[in-house]
Chain A
Amino acid sequence: MTLTLRDVEHIADLARLALTAEEKERFREQLSAILDYAASLQRLDISDIPPTATVLPLRNVMREDVARPSLPPEDVLANAPDTAEGCFRVRAILE
């Protein structure tokens, strides 16, 4: 399967990545190769196998609705590249 440059641009846009023309071409080739590899699964006959959402034999793993302490605020922001007023500070979001 061969991705077009437009596909790559769309994916980059969804991931909020700015790519150079050279990067776009490189990722186009790499992503196409990955998709080709994954496409080998298409050769399997799965007509008798129902779709599944999980491979684990687990169901209904739930917890009781009990609140417990959260992290101390200084730990919460410890790894943040930038903070202000007790919040994570990020580049302006255009609405």
Chain B
Amino acid sequence: MQYEPIIGMEVHAELLTASKMFCGCDAHIFGAPPNTHVCPVCLGLPGVLPVINRKAVEYTLMAGLALHCQIAEFSVFARKNYTYPDLPKGYQISQYELPLCRDGWLDVEVDGQSRRIGITRAHLEEDTAKLFHAGGYSLVDFNRAGVPLLEIVSEPDIRSPEEARQYLIRLQQILRYLGVSSADMEKGAMRCEANVSLRPVGSTALGTKVEVKNLNSFRSVKLALEYEIERQARVLEAGGTVEQVTMGWDEVHNRTVVQRSKEYADDYRYFPEPDLPPLEISREWVAEIRSRLPELPEAKRARFIADYGLDAQQAEVLVQERAVADYFEEAVAAYGGAARAVAPWISGELFRLLRAQGLEMAEVPVPAKALADLLILIDEGKITSGTGKQVLAQMFASGRSAAEIVEAEGLAQVSDAATLEAAVRKVLAAYPDEVAKYREGKSQIIGWLMGQVMRETKGKANPQLVRELLERQLRQC
């Protein structure tokens, strides 16, 4: 039988606030010694009360608006009760019946096909402590406890592991564009879980849902879902039934393993948090936040295609990161020529140099204006495009301008007819066999001969001139 996977995603993203969700502890905890960012509130000591961080609410509303959600007029925090050492209070302050945002959507694209994934809700809660398991005991570091956490729950609208991966990539892009979360999966700033079930194609009945946790990278998400779909299909094929369990993805062995069975089904006894008065989100506040939203990747992609004449793939690469998109636009403005000529220099050469150095776009040592100046030198015929690549590498390494490097290294394009003619003559004399082949009609060999002339001139020869000279001399002799 042919089965169809039904996938829903639950994503948690740490918000980039200065302080924690309900207390003033510094929320930048990455790398801090254990239990140095804690206070009586986030430790759950008696006699203290939480107070809502306005910025965290604002960031959640920004994310909700970017995901086309309805923003609640009345929203309430709730206690989620469970007993585990990562919770100092014995409950997590979260949201239940009245989340800040609900009923949104996000479009994802797979193989050129766009699909709309519903967003059930986006709410605010506090992160939990970190546990380190050592032999015979566990250690608890409460630094992370109380860091604001945005939870985004999708509808079970996702139909393939690749679609799930794309959903996460788009979500990460949006959170980063908004500047509300680093959404860095490696650092645990974005974590996700998936619900997956199978049903026979054409059926509308829902199968038994299996929850898969511990998906710490885009790759893990895809691999774990592929594995789990196959596992469930095998169970169903064999006439068995899928058990309702929580699985964890084992990155080392690339398989899902049972973490909890149904007997321990969650029973969180949610109730409204009595320590926190409800929120009334005024429409003025929502409008004000909406007016401050940056242009999002989707809109930027469309604009890059329409305004700059980029193709869809070029636009996609350039809008992945806001810093890249901004760099591109700045370079285009300084360049003044065709934007299409700028795009490959960024997505090709510049990305390669960044990757080689392990740098982010925000750390690029070549300003956009300097890249534009380089492209202008090429357009003016001062250097060849091949030399331009060398020059860019040197700009990257030294921070010098293109003109300085060309001058200092003697890289200017050679258009002097006498010099080039001598080089052409030398090459033709050195390769009589190839010359003979050309005359026999293998005219494409001129490309190879050109390469030899370029090598002879260390890549600086004006290629158009070389071609002309080659053709003329080949005709003559």
Contact = CB atoms under 8 A, between A and B. Distances in A.
Given A70-B38, A70-B39, A53 B33 contact: no
Nearest to B17: A65
A61 B24 contact: no
A43 interface: no
A93 interface: yes
B240 to A, nearest CB: 26
Q: Is the interface of B mostly helix, strand, loop or mixed?
A: loop
Q: Is the interface of A mostly helix, strand, loop or mixed?
A: loop
Contacts of B56: 65
Given A76-B43, A87-B139, A92-B133, A14 B83 contact: yes
Nearest to B139: A87
Q: Which of A16, A53, A66 has the most CB of B within 10 A?
A: A53
Contacts of B39: 70-71
A95 B259 contact: yes
B17 A93 contact: no
A90 B34 contact: no
Contacts of B33: 73, 86
Interface stretch (B113-121, B223-231, B272-280, B314-322): B272-280
Nearest to A76: B35
Q: Which of A16, A82, A88 has the most CB of B within 10 A?
A: A88
Contacts of A48: none
Contact of B272 (A53, A62, A89): A53
Contacts of A53: 76, 98, 272, 278
B194 to A, nearest CB: 19
Given A56-B277, A71-B40, A63 B35 contact: no
A64 B39 CA distance: 17
Contacts of B37: 70
B421 interface: no
Nearest to A87: B139
B131 interface: yes
Nearest to A62: B54
Interface in A23-82: 53-54, 56, 58-68, 70-71, 73, 76-77, 82
Interface in B326-383: none
B330 to A, nearest CB: 30
B51 interface: yes
B276 A92 contact: no
30 contacts: A10-B267, A14-B82, A14-B269, A15-B83, A53-B76, A53-B272, A54-B272, A60-B277, A60-B279, A62-B53, A62-B57, A63-B52, A64-B55, A65-B18, A66-B19, A67-B25, A67-B27, A70-B36, A71-B38, A77-B35, A82-B137, A85-B34, A86-B33, A86-B141, A88-B35, A88-B139, A89-B139, A90-B138, A92-B135, A95-B259
Given A54-B278, A63-B51, 19 more contacts: A15-B83, A54-B274, A59-B277, A62-B51, A67-B26, A67-B27, A70-B39, A76-B35, A86-B34, A86-B141, A87-B34, A88-B140, A90-B85, A90-B139, A91-B138, A92-B137, A93-B131, A93-B133, A95-B248
